[in-house]
Amino acid sequence: MMPPAFKTTFKTLLLAGTLLTAAPALAQSAAPAAPAAEAPPVPAGRLPDAVIPSAYRLDLKVDPTQTRFGGHVEIDAAIKAPGRFIYIHGNGLAVSKAAVTIAGKTYLADWKQVDPTGVVLLTFAQALPAGKATFAFDYDAPFHEGPDGMFRVKVGDDWYSWTQFESTDARAAYPAFDQPGYKQPFTVTLRTPKGLVAVTNAPETSVTQEGGLDVHHFAATAPLPTYLLAMMVGPFAVAKGEIPATPQRAQPLPLRIVSTKENAGKLDFALENSKQIVAHLENYFGQSFPYPKLDEISSPIMGGAMENAGADLYQDRLLIVQDKDSTEQKREFGMVVSHELAHQWFGDLVTPAWWDDIWLNESFANWMGYRIGNEWRPDLNIGAGALEEGFAAMDTDALLAGRPIHQAIEKNAQIDAAFDSITYGKGGHVVAMIAAFMGDTKFRDGVRGYMAAHRYGNATSAQFFAAMAQASGDPRILPALQSFTDQQGVPLLTFSGADGRYSVTQSRYAQLGTQAPAQTWGVPLCMRRGDARACQLLDTVSGTVQVGGSGVFMPNAGGTGYYRFELPKADWDALIASSASLTGGEGLALSDSLAASFQAGRASAGQLAELARVMSTNPDSFAADSAMDGLITLQTSDMLDTKATVAYRRFVGHILAPQLERLGFNPALDAYAGENAERSQARVQLVGRLVSAAQDPAVIATLTKAATAWLGGDSKALDPTWYRLAFGLWLTEQAKGKDGGVSAAKNLFERALSTQESHLRPALLSALSLPGKPAIANWALNDAHDQRLRPTERMSMVLNITSNRTTRDLGYVWVRDHSDELLKGSAGIFVASRLPQVLGNQCSVEAADAMAKDFRPKLAGLTGQLELERSIERVRSCGVLKNARAKEVSKEISELK
């Protein structure tokens, strides 16, 4: 799975899930109530292994124009011991009949949901014998409005339905033993209105007619856990093709791209480029694609993407991409499609035994997404994005409130919290670090051995670690890897010395005003001077290192190490001075470590400014963009007084405006079609920084003029690359009018709801929050209602306003006052942790105290509880740093030339 980003840079993937939809009512079967008896305790997490399922048969009527779906489900299973009580899963299902047949005798059950996470108690009038059994259920259930369970959306004049089951939402669509340790085949039959397309994990074998409906019959799937089942129904547009045979696969593989009708003419890019990505993955794993066909499906409200075996699901804008689209969009396509398709092997073919090992699925797939994406299109520089995401995760991992990558999960409420930046960003970076230290071939061989040993089955982290240790031939790899997965925190390596000879001490990094506990890691430390590189495993508190060669000392060669470093001032200054020529990964490592040093009270604002001056000219777009991060944080954290703010804006403009002038800037449609990808991305980044940080009047005027022309009917005036920014600037200009921009906001709102275009609609809605004007924000929060506005879009508007620095206080109060309503329907994986993240946009000790008072009681015991504690700590730490350094910082920035 690829959820929406944890860093504000998995950039524009928006919130999924529905917070505004009431949770479905608990349902009970119509079977006679069983006599009173003492049931075993309700399991808080993993079900007891009293029943082992072996096969599912689903026969469902799915009509997306209706509000409910339902049908008949049978589960073959083995009952291990006699008894009257069985726990199973179902969430909000209206079950009219629940029964089990054993040795030809059928026993009726009383169905009762006994836990809001979807635990159900089946109670029988008499004890069931042990042995082979078939469970049978007749039921119906509501379609959800957000991307969890079986959900539906109206697109244009048509209704469509999709499924999204990870982590625990399969139980909202059918009765199941819904946990990853059970893998079994599914045979699915879908009854739909005539003429609709139906998709599941397996190939469709036939379509018959019965009772005025099309009956779609599908082959049995390979063994799957419940969360990987997929069922999609609607008048979809379908592009068909084949992935040619490869050395690992003798026959062509059927491939389809499936989307809503409005995207019918935009499926060719995904069709052709997915073929190449599959071939790269088969080569890496050394085996053929594990399933008989591949469908890639898109939905307008999916928040990220999901690796359903043979039937991947994506948010529209991730899959519906064109050759002429921006570098960022093509990077996202390559990374996310590679990520989800890597899961077909690592996660689907081999599945974790329980949710505490989901990190391994996602961390590995994250690393593979960037690696294979880079192989697919080296010109897009996708690979550096892995390190950008890893360094971003350090900001979360550095907090005292946190968790390790590999964490015991004992309760259902803990499961969704595992899908965060620690799993994806940190986990992917740790995988990259170990792979770099082991060597690519040995690491790949370890992966292949692990896959071969557990094909179509389940496995644990311990088994993966053992495979890596065996492949590496180095027994130190296992404890080194576990030191990063089994404890939280970021290692800080403090160097002293000079000329390639250094003493180094490791400790846990901590921000100013916090005290981290003493910890050590087995750090695969790789350093560079010039072309000379040296690597060693630092598994003690301190040691000595030596690297030959000459030139500037880079303590994180290639940027692959998951650690921060602290240097003597002379080494800092030399590294900053050479930063324009660092590799992308090394530039990211330098930006992160220098900013972290400032946040810990050591580096100066002047050093941050000098890095921005020098490294902004680095030819790698990731490194160049990161150069500005530390400096910009000074302003967004309210550390600059009025005089310093003026100097800061002038300084940023002085650095970046000449670079944009050299590149040129024309926002018209296709003005830079076919341009070098890195050059194109550099322009996007420069324009964004010049607007937000420098408030450059010329760039703002150019975009505002283009947006005005586009909104006036000139469709060639504005390229989709600039939609959100240009529309937001246009609205900012309109906000100078007498109604504060509300009438103009209504104009954009209506235009958004009148289109289904997968890039335009979200850009128009997102632009409403960009001006940060109270009148517009109040209208959007309180009055922007329309039946065409999807619940996920409504929630994105709310959270974007709350995230905006100039409307965050207004948004905070609104969210606080409406929090009960917002949290009432938070059933999906992407929701509960998102709310506290946007609240953490403030910077004061007082704001942290208010957050604790206002939201701790509301999120206690929910998925968002940990994320709230992280946000409180961020806000408090920011306040402490501001109080300690704001005067000093303002003075330094005011003196910049």
Tell me the pLDDT tens digit for each residue of 67-125.
999 999 999 999 999 999 999 999 999 999 999 999 999 999 999 999 999 999 999 99
Residue-wise pLDDT for 797-818, tens only, equals 998 999 899 999 999 999 899 8
Tallying the residues shown for the chain, one arrives at 897
Contact assessment for residue 581 and residue 383, using Cβ atoms and an 8 Å cutoff: no
d(CA 861, CA 123): 28
**Cis ω for the linkage preceding 29 (within 30 of 0):** no
Sorting pLDDT into bands at 50, 70 and 90, what band is 791?
confident
Confidence of residue 22 (pLDDT cuts 50, 70, 90): very low
Asked if the model's pLDDT at residue 672 lies above 90, the reply is yes
Query: Given a cut of 80, is residue 5 above it in pLDDT?
Result: no
Indicate whether 145 pLDDT > 50.
Answer: yes
Element housing 234 (H / E)? strand 231-234
pLDDT at 418: 83
Letter string b/e over residues 164-195, b meaning 16 or more CB atoms within 10 A of that residue's CB? bbbbbbbbbbbbbbbbbbbbbbbbbbbbbbee
Element (H or E) spanning 259, and its range? Answer: strand 253-259
Predicted local confidence at residue 288, as pLDDT: 97
Write out 693-719 in H/E/C secondary structure: CCCCHHHHHHHHHHHHHHHCCCCCCCC
Predicted local confidence at residue 4, as pLDDT: 56
- Residue bearing tokens 């999204």: 164
Residues 784 and 765: beta-carbon distance below 8 Å:
no
- Residue 592 Cα distances to 537, 611, 879, angstroms: 22, 11, 20
The residue ranking higher by pLDDT, 19 or 53, is 53
Least confident of 113-117, 278-282, 382-386, 590-594: 382-386
Average pLDDT rounded to a whole number, residues 235-261: 98
Look at 25-34, 487-496, 690-699, 723-732 and tell me which has the smallest mean pLDDT: 25-34
For tokens 């010039």, what's the residue? 530
Residue 19's pLDDT is what? Answer: 29
Q: What is the pLDDT of residues 35-78, one digit of tens each?
A: 456 899 999 999 999 999 999 999 999 999 999 999 999 999 99
Q: What percentage of residues in the chain have a pLDDT greater than 90? A: 84
| pLDDT higher than 50, residue 448 | yes
Q: Is residue 13 pLDDT above 50, yes or no?
A: no
Mean pLDDT of 287-291: 97
* 600 contacts 509 by C-beta, under 8 angstroms: yes
β-strands 294-299, 311-315: how paired? parallel
Position 24 confidence tier, pLDDT thresholds 50, 70, 90: very low
CA separation for the pair 877, 807 (Å, rounded):
21
The average pLDDT across 421-428 equals 92
- Which pLDDT belongs to residue 349? 96
pLDDT at 27: 41
Give the model confidence (pLDDT) of 615-628 as tens digits.
Answer: 999 999 999 999 99
Three-class DSSP category at 337: helix
Is 556 in contact with 586 (CB distance < 8 Å)? yes
- Interval 397-407 mean pLDDT: 94
**pLDDT grade for 825, boundaries at 50, 70 and 90:** low
Map residue 183 onto helix, strand or coil: coil
- pLDDT value of position 834: 73
How many other CB atoms sit within 10 Å of the CB of residue 96? 15
CB burial of residue 317 (10 Å; 0-12, 13-18, 19+): buried
Strands 305-306 and 311-315 turn out to be antiparallel
- Is the pLDDT reported for residue 581 higher than 60? yes
pLDDT of residue 831: 52
pLDDT of residue 28: 42
703 token code pair? 């975009």
State residue 544's pLDDT score. 95
Q: Is the distance from CB of 303 to CB of 147 less than 8 angstroms?
A: yes
- Mean pLDDT, the chain, as a whole number? 92
610 CB burial (10 A radius; 0-12, 13-18, 19+)? buried
The residues that bridge with 255 in the sheet, in sequence order, are: 241, 294
- Please give the full DSSP string across 531-550, using - where no structure is assigned: TEEEEEEE-SSEEEEE--SS
Q: Residue 446 has which token pair?
A: 């370890």
443 with 468: CB under 8 angstroms? yes
Q: Count the neighbouring beta carbons within 10 Å of the beta carbon of residue 104.
A: 5
DSSP code, position 451: H
417 vs 571, residue with greater confidence: 571
Closest-CA residue to 349 (of 295, 379, 314, 307): 307
pLDDT in tens, 344-382: 999 999 999 999 999 989 999 999 999 999 999 999 999
Provide the pLDDT for residue 826.
Answer: 43
Handedness of CA 269, 274, 275, 281 (dihedral sign): positive
Determine the Cα–Cα distance for residues 301 and 831; give it in Å rounded to an integer: 13
Three-state DSSP state, 524 = strand
The region of weakest confidence among 439-443, 562-566, 778-782, 821-825 is 821-825
Helix runs in 219-267, H state only:
none
Indicate if the pLDDT at residue 523 is higher than 70: yes
pLDDT tier, 525 (very low <50, low <70, confident <90, very high otherwise): very high
Phi, psi of 436 (to 5 degrees): -65, -40
- Rounded to whole angstroms, the Cα distance separating 835 from 827 reads 13
Question: pLDDT higher for 505 or 477?
Answer: 505
- Euclidean distance between CA atoms 266 and 311, whole angstroms: 19
Q: Is the pLDDT of residue 521 over 90?
A: yes
With cut-offs at 50, 70 and 90, classify the pLDDT of residue 792.
confident
- Nearest by Cα to 227 from 54, 348, 342: 348
**pLDDT, position 37:** 63
Rg, Å, the chain Cα set: 27
Q: What is the predicted pLDDT for the residue at 829?
A: 43
What is the pLDDT confidence band of residue 795, given thresholds at 50, 70 and 90? confident
Give the Cβ contact number of residue 530 at 10 Å. 14
Q: Which residues pair with 527 in a beta bridge?
A: 534
